[in-house]
Structure 1
Amino acid sequence: MTRRAAASLCALALLGATSPARARNPWTQAGHVRIGVVRTLDSLNPLLSGQAASTDLAQFLFDGLIRYDDAGNAIPDAATAVPTRANGGISADGKTITYHLRRDLRFSDGVPLRAEDVVYTYRQDVNPHNNVPYHFPYDLPTSVTATDPYTVVVRLKAPSAPFVASFFRCGAQGVILPKHLLANVPDFNRAPFNTHPVGSGPFMVERYDINSTLEMVPNPYWFGGKPGLKRVTYRIIPSENTLLVALRTHEIDFYFGAPEQQYAELRSLPHVSSSAAPSQQYEMVAFNARREPFSDVRVRRAAAKAIDWKNLAATTYLNVDLADWGDIFPKSWAYPNLPDPNPFDLARARALLDEAGWQPGPDGIRTKNGKRLEVTLSTVAGVMVRENAEVALQSQLHAAGFDVQVRNAPANMLFAPYGAGGLLATGKFDLGIYAWTKNPDPDDTQTTGPGYIPPHGANYAGIVDPEMGRLQLRASAVYERGPRRAIYAQLERRFGELLFSHTIVWRANINAWNDDLHGVKPAVAVSDFWNVADWSI
């Protein structure tokens, strides 16, 4: 069964054959959905982006080998099946993974998509001249080859359970690019393709006004047939209050990623459907251990213990989300349910700073060797809940002796790759509040692995811990969940000891939409737009 057919059957089941017909809202434009988001974009080429927004747009414009459905299951995309041992896609030794491609794949210019396009894209992922945000999992193979036009064979250095469903997972750094258009491009960093890409997904770009409006229309060659929508207008509106007004006044049909503060009002709006589905996106306070003062783990622990995490989840995030401290989703099969090793304890926070040599000054701010304990706190400008969290953190950290200065930036500056000067990747921050979207697999090599400090990965904390690396290799080397679960409990303990970050909550993806829009199925992982081809209005 194709992705679209499966999703359509689910949508029909949800709607019910006996649902009474009703008149369309007068503001509804048949076949045309207008989406509003707050996040700016660094590129329309997912190869060059680590942003969640890039993963969202990839669902419209591109195919990966696989994608994830609303329940967090890996499902086929350009591949005919997700490789397993049972279907022969994973070799007995776990080192050879085989993906078979559909035979009806075409890019939006009509040119067939073949295995050589996958191999070409892989080579661009590991091309040092391209400003890719990270290399995992593309650094794991020893070779990626096209054995025929419809077969891609990957040989790994070692068995890797996380690799199978993260290699060319539709999203940031996981889409298949057209070799016939890009083979002669020396690097992608300033290529015109980045603002007017050609993919094989259900939609294609008609017009893009950079960080303002993206107009998309159906790809006439998409393998799934005609999408349910005739046009998609994707508007970037960098103010959540303005987005709320735009939904109220029917200038947009779909408000994506609303803050917790707006959820109650969104639920009360007439002719609007809403959701707050828990997701594998953890909202965190991240520490930059690449420079003082957070290069000292005692200072990281002091900051963590100065923050009242439970109060923050309740009063700032309004208990809409799942509160927890680590980087394994509480609903995951691998969740170890360990107590927070760094709970709120202001007295202990002050004692840790004393141990680290930071002494209170006359104004309450601590000093060491004549230097004040001044730190910056950064997040995405215009994101209401995070800006409210910054106010709380400033106050709570001040009580322990920190002087916290807020320096926010647009998402495309904060999350840009290392080569493009991204603030997180280049370490130009002390504390950051942001969210990271995980694959359903609990592997965190990309964000905490010792070999994945930018530009090689997204270990923004910059902590190099060989023990983390050894445990991650052990966990990934087996494909069975039982043995992996015990290792992830050890990894979670080590994560808490080292304090790469401290999770505030696992965010609920809060969306609201015109109730004439059908087929929306918010996802537990990766992207709420996973089945956008099945939406209709």
Structure 2
Amino acid sequence: MKLTTLGIQGSCLALAAAALTACGGASNGGGGAGVVDGGTFTYGLSSDLGGLDPQMGAGTSLFAVTQFAYDPLLSVDGRTGEIKSALAKSWQVNGRSVTLTLADGITCSDGTRLTASDVAKNLGFVADPKNKSPFLGTFLPVGAKAKGDDTTRVVTLTLARPAPFVLNGLSGLPIVCPRGMADRSSLRTATAGTGPYKLIQAAPGDHYTYAIRDGYTWGPNGATTATRGLPKTVVIKVVENASTAANLLLSGGLNGAQIVGPDAERLEKSGLYAAKTPILAGEQWYNERAGRATGDPKVRKALTQALDLGQLQKVFTSGRGTAATTLAANEPVACRGDSVSRALPAHDPQAAGALLDQAGWVKGSDGRRTKDGRPLRLTFIYQNNNGTGGDAAAELAVRQWKAIGVEATAHSQNETTLTNTIFGTGNWDVAWAAVNVNTPDQLVPFLSGPAAPQGNNFAGISDPDYDAAVKSAMAIPGTAGCRDWLAAESGLIAKADVVPFAGTVVRTFGKGARFETPGELVPTSIRMLAR
């Protein structure tokens, strides 16, 4: 999971997020160049990481970089959805008991061996609500308890209640080595993982440098660092401006970067390699906390009806997008179907105005709405990495709200700032923050439960109908419960608690290298190409 603003392209928060972060990556271009060992792979990110602790952030940038130094217990085949090995070489689910047997010879970047007890401590850390990990309820079911047997190398996870996609969740949860668990503060600027690379230099706001680890043999589905073509060094470079990143790709200053908008069209025409990943790109949320105008369901529905979502989708994606169909949209999608199209409130500015009248927001002679002398003013935030299309779509939304008497001020924020705003300060009314996951249960903490900062529910949604629908769906194993999950999503969308309005295919361009992007760039898939 991850926020793609954030994400939680997350789960693939992201808030991003998500963020919080798996899908199949197709590609084009790249030519027929052979692969070469060694070399440096330089990857551009549109936002700084804001701290490196892999279990305490759900933003897309952090989740992407986490993959280099940390491993999860399991992996998911991006094309088939089949559960594959990672740290665990075998696994079994028996009712509410999950057992995972660790692969042999797993070592941390400091040379220590990873034990089953170490893994159990990781799961216990995330499971403890006091630690406020955004992965609780997303990648690890609430109430789960873990224990490890170091002799058999078996980790046993006992669930408090049914969790139909528990293995998918574990594929997104990075495991921290003992040194990092003992000193969490060290994880802000250093890494302590079992991953294929180790951080050797951190210059926040500018770059992060990783070195390959020899002897790594427990990667996703058996991937190793002995594979020909892997880079010896990886440099993650912060490049916030999309045009600058595109120019660096063309000149060879970057080997990879995710680019959207007109710059992406320019790169595609140049013939650069591109790995493609479908995501939910446009997703609108309302701050439903007490004291906010958007806490009123009539106001939320009015603001939604005021928008021409079809037009907004075209502008936001620069004409390359599609209508959203589900909230859990990352490939491999666990529950296929359409929970969105029939549930979205129809575009109807006149009905929107009538709803605002009913809510007590009356339009004055100047065309602006007030209630008890207070103007209807909204703070509208969105992430700055959607190119010119994102800025144009935000301007369009502001104009359409103004047409019904609502004054909205749009603020473009980078991922770190936006994540802090929605999860921390709470100083917002409307946010565009796409949470990308591949199973619907991973969304539950974002759509219910404790509001931020106590939980992931950054919008403060409270819907008994959704909670009841989730309880029913959770009791049905795997995809057999998809009909119930999609119905639960539709209920929230019909009430305008969340408004998914655009899907798209994001392109991660490469020069001098090729790679796969099932949700995030897979480090062990990188191949440096002969010039």
TM-score bracket for the superposition, by shorter chain length: 0.7 to 0.9
1:248 CA displacement: 2.3
Q: Deviations over 1:57-104 (max 9, x none)?
A: 1221101111333325432211113x4xxxxx111xx11111111012
1:148 CA displacement: 3.3
Residues 246 and 252, structure 1, Cα contact 8 Å, conserved in 2:
yes
- Rounded to whole Å, the distance in 1 between the matches of 2:434 and 2:491 is 21
Aligned partner of 2:18 in structure 1 is none
Aligned partner of 2:133 in structure 1 is 132
- Rounded to whole Å, the distance in 2 between the matches of 1:20 and 1:298 is 54
Q: Does 1:379 align with 2:382?
A: yes
Q: Which runs of 5+ in 2 are unaligned?
A: 1-23, 218-223
The secondary structure found in structure 2 opposite 1:353 is helix
Q: Does 1:161 align with 2:158?
A: no
Residues 205 and 215, structure 1, Cα contact 8 Å, conserved in 2:
yes
Aligned partner of 1:351 in structure 2 is 354
The secondary structure found in structure 2 opposite 1:423 is helix
Amino acid at match of 2:355: L
2:507 to 506, 510, 513: 510
Residues 68 and 530, structure 1, Cα contact 8 Å, conserved in 2:
no
- Rounded to whole Å, the distance in 2 between the matches of 1:20 and 1:37 is 24
Distance of aligned partners of 1:152 and 1:248 in 2 relative to their CA distance in 1, 3 Å threshold = same
1:147 to 146, 149, 172: 149
Aligned partner of 1:304 in structure 2 is 304
2:528 to 517, 530, 536: 536
- Rounded to whole Å, the distance in 1 between the matches of 2:31 and 2:43 is 27
Greater shift, 205-214 or 462-471, is seen at: 462-471
1:240 to 239, 242, 249: 242
Distance of aligned partners of 1:142 and 1:480 in 2 relative to their CA distance in 1, 3 Å threshold = closer
Aligned partner of 2:89 in structure 1 is 80
Residues 141 and 163, structure 2, Cα contact 8 Å, conserved in 1:
no
Residues 37 and 237, structure 1, Cα contact 8 Å, conserved in 2:
yes
- TM-score, normalised with respect to structure 1: 0.84
The secondary structure found in structure 1 opposite 2:350 is helix
- Rounded to whole Å, the distance in 2 between the matches of 1:22 and 1:35 is 20
Q: Deviations over 1:295-341 (max 9, x none)?
A: 11110001111111111112331232231265243965342455143
Residues 334 and 488, structure 1, Cα contact 8 Å, conserved in 2:
no
- Rounded to whole Å, the distance in 2 between the matches of 1:440 and 1:139 is 13
Residues 108 and 222, structure 1, Cα contact 8 Å, conserved in 2:
no
Residues 142 and 155, structure 1, Cα contact 8 Å, conserved in 2:
yes
Q: Deviations over 1:365-400 (max 9, x none)?
A: 111110101000112245423222211111111111
Amino acid at match of 1:361: G
- Rounded to whole Å, the distance in 1 between the matches of 2:144 and 2:38 is 50
Amino acid at match of 2:119: V
- Rounded to whole Å, the distance in 1 between the matches of 2:57 and 2:486 is 31
Q: Deviations over 1:209-258 (max 9, x none)?
A: 012101111022422243511111110111112112212222111122x1
Residues 96 and 153, structure 1, Cα contact 8 Å, conserved in 2:
yes
- Rounded to whole Å, the distance in 1 between the matches of 2:317 and 2:281 is 12
Aligned partner of 2:43 in structure 1 is 35
Aligned partner of 1:284 in structure 2 is 283
Residues 328 and 492, structure 1, Cα contact 8 Å, conserved in 2:
no
Amino acid at match of 1:212: D
Aligned partner of 2:210 in structure 1 is 216
Residues 379 and 432, structure 1, Cα contact 8 Å, conserved in 2:
yes
Aligned partner of 2:53 in structure 1 is 45
Aligned partner of 2:263 in structure 1 is 262
Amino acid at match of 1:406: A
1:127 CA displacement: 4.3
Residues 80 and 102, structure 1, Cα contact 8 Å, conserved in 2:
yes
Q: Deviations over 1:383-434 (max 9, x none)?
A: 4232222111111111111101123333112224xxxxx4344422101112
The secondary structure found in structure 1 opposite 2:314 is helix
- Rounded to whole Å, the distance in 1 between the matches of 2:164 and 2:484 is 13
Residues 326 and 495, structure 1, Cα contact 8 Å, conserved in 2:
no
- Rounded to whole Å, the distance in 2 between the matches of 1:345 and 1:233 is 49
1:491 CA displacement: 0.4
Amino acid at match of 1:517: A
1:363 to 363, 366, 377: 366
Aligned partner of 1:430 in structure 2 is 429
Greater shift, 96-105 or 403-412, is seen at: 403-412
Residues 343 and 494, structure 2, Cα contact 8 Å, conserved in 1:
no
Distance of aligned partners of 1:20 and 1:162 in 2 relative to their CA distance in 1, 3 Å threshold = closer
Aligned partner of 1:60 in structure 2 is 68
Alignment of 1:89-104 (within 5 A): 89-91=92-94, 94-104=95-105
Residues 200 and 219, structure 1, Cα contact 8 Å, conserved in 2:
no
Aligned partner of 1:319 in structure 2 is 319
Aligned partner of 2:517 in structure 1 is 522
Amino acid at match of 2:243: N
- Rounded to whole Å, the distance in 2 between the matches of 1:131 and 1:20 is 46
- Rounded to whole Å, the distance in 2 between the matches of 1:286 and 1:443 is 17
Residues 344 and 499, structure 2, Cα contact 8 Å, conserved in 1:
no
Alignment of 1:456-535 (within 5 A): 456-482=454-480, 484-514=481-511, 516-518=512-514, 520-523=515-518, 526-527=519-520, 529-535=521-527
Aligned partner of 1:407 in structure 2 is 411
Residues 381 and 411, structure 1, Cα contact 8 Å, conserved in 2:
yes
1:364 CA displacement: 1.4
Q: Does 1:388 align with 2:395?
A: no
Amino acid at match of 1:509: V
- TM-score, normalised with respect to structure 2: 0.85
- Rounded to whole Å, the distance in 1 between the matches of 2:31 and 2:517 is 24
- Rounded to whole Å, the distance in 2 between the matches of 1:238 and 1:206 is 23
- Rounded to whole Å, the distance in 2 between the matches of 1:496 and 1:21 is 46
Amino acid at match of 1:61: A
- Rounded to whole Å, the distance in 1 between the matches of 2:401 and 2:27 is 47
- Rounded to whole Å, the distance in 1 between the matches of 2:34 and 2:459 is 53
- Rounded to whole Å, the distance in 2 between the matches of 1:21 and 1:195 is 39
Distance of aligned partners of 1:452 and 1:261 in 2 relative to their CA distance in 1, 3 Å threshold = farther
The secondary structure found in structure 2 opposite 1:386 is helix
Distance of aligned partners of 1:389 and 1:21 in 2 relative to their CA distance in 1, 3 Å threshold = closer
1:285 CA displacement: 1.4
Distance of aligned partners of 1:457 and 1:175 in 2 relative to their CA distance in 1, 3 Å threshold = same
Matched-pair identity in %: 19
Residues 328 and 439, structure 2, Cα contact 8 Å, conserved in 1:
no
Residues 108 and 177, structure 2, Cα contact 8 Å, conserved in 1:
yes
1:21 CA displacement: 5.8
Amino acid at match of 1:431: V
Distance of aligned partners of 1:383 and 1:147 in 2 relative to their CA distance in 1, 3 Å threshold = same
Amino acid at match of 2:145: S
Aligned partner of 2:4 in structure 1 is none
1:142 CA displacement: 4.5
The secondary structure found in structure 2 opposite 1:41 is coil
